[in-house]
Amino acid sequence: MKLGIIGTGRIGGGLARQLAGAGHELKLSFSRDPGKLEELARELGAGASAGTPAEAVDFGEVIVISVPWGVLPQALEQAGSLAGKIVIDTTNQFGAPPLPPEGETAAHFNAARMPGARYTKCFNTLTSAFQAEAAGRQGEERVVQWLCGDDAKAKEIVAGLVEDAGFVPVDLGGTAKCSVMEAPRRDGAVYGEEYRASDARAAVEAVRAGRTIPPTPRYRSAG
Ligand SMILES: NC(=O)c1ccc[n+]([C@@H]2O[C@H](COP(=O)([O-])OP(=O)(O)OC[C@H]3O[C@@H](n4cnc5c(N)ncnc54)[C@H](OP(=O)(O)O)[C@@H]3O)[C@@H](O)[C@H]2O)c1
């Protein structure tokens, strides 16, 4: 697929490497030093190029937005309209306002900041170092990436990209009720925790039923 990446730091850059490795074409964007985008594009090979956020949006069927919360308004302004595009938002609400009001998820809040986008949120619950280490694990040790969104078809496509990146996609449901995959790390949430497919189903069932999720699973370290 053609993917536009807005923000190629720890998370966006890691994802770019994983998805380029799976054969996707990428347009990399949004840096204070455009030379860094060119350098990453060279590292990723013929399918990758650098551009502006607006060029990344124009290029991509799917747009990954992976920037610090405080610069999201700036990134969205440079991106222009996202209408009709599948968006993967990796952001967490650490930083300057505007922030979601009490009781509203960051995913629901951000979806409203991207009018017409086929919004999803994913790749936000695990540290960049852990994601880099865990991508591509095999069998029962494969790690879950939670996703949410209000467009079922968009989530199917994003689930395919999660697999391509080397993880197991698990759909938690719509943006309004995905708070368990959002910061901060706390009891009763999947945010910040490693999950594997075998333990994910019970968490999804609990979220859908409005119940507290079962205790966080603990795994012996892989490898
Ligand atoms: N790091 C994690 O472990 C982690 C885990 C899960 C989710 N997240 C979330 O994912 C999002 C991205 O996190 P990250 O850790 O990948 O961020 P990061 O490493 O700081 O990367 C930020 C990206 O935005 C670009 N950027 C452009 N203008 C910027 C500006 N004015 N200020 C700061 N950056 C600017 C940076 O490019 P230049 O530096 O080249 O300008 C860089 O490519 C955040 O919302 C974060 O909460 C992070």
Percent of the chain topping pLDDT 70? 99
pLDDT in tens, 33-55: 999 999 999 999 999 999 999 99
Q: What is the mean pLDDT of the chain?
A: 97
pLDDT score of 220: 80
CA of 36, closest atom in ligand 1: 40
* Residues of the chain above pLDDT 90, percent: 97
- Model pLDDT for residues 88-135, shown as the tens digit of each residue: 999 999 999 999 999 999 999 999 999 999 999 999 999 999 999 999
The enclosing H or E element of 149 equals strand 144-149
Token representation of residue 53: 């956020």
Comparison of pLDDT for 220 and 24, the residue scoring more: 24
What is the band of 20 on the pLDDT scale with cuts at 50, 70, 90? very high
Q: What is the pTM of this model?
A: 0.98
Whether pLDDT at 222 is above 60? no
Report pLDDT for 79.
Answer: 98
Per DSSP, the chain holds a count of helices (H) and strands (E) of: 8, 8
CA distance 121 to 155: 9
Q: Which of 95, 104, 88 is nearest to 176 (CA)?
A: 104
Q: What is the pLDDT of residue 159?
A: 98
**pLDDT value of residue 57:** 99
Query: How far, in Å, CA of 66 to CA of 4, rounded?
Result: 11
Give me ligand 1 centre to Cα 198, in Å: 31
Ligand 1 neighbours by CB, cut-off 6 Å? 7-12, 30-33, 36, 66-69, 71, 90-92, 94, 124, 127-128
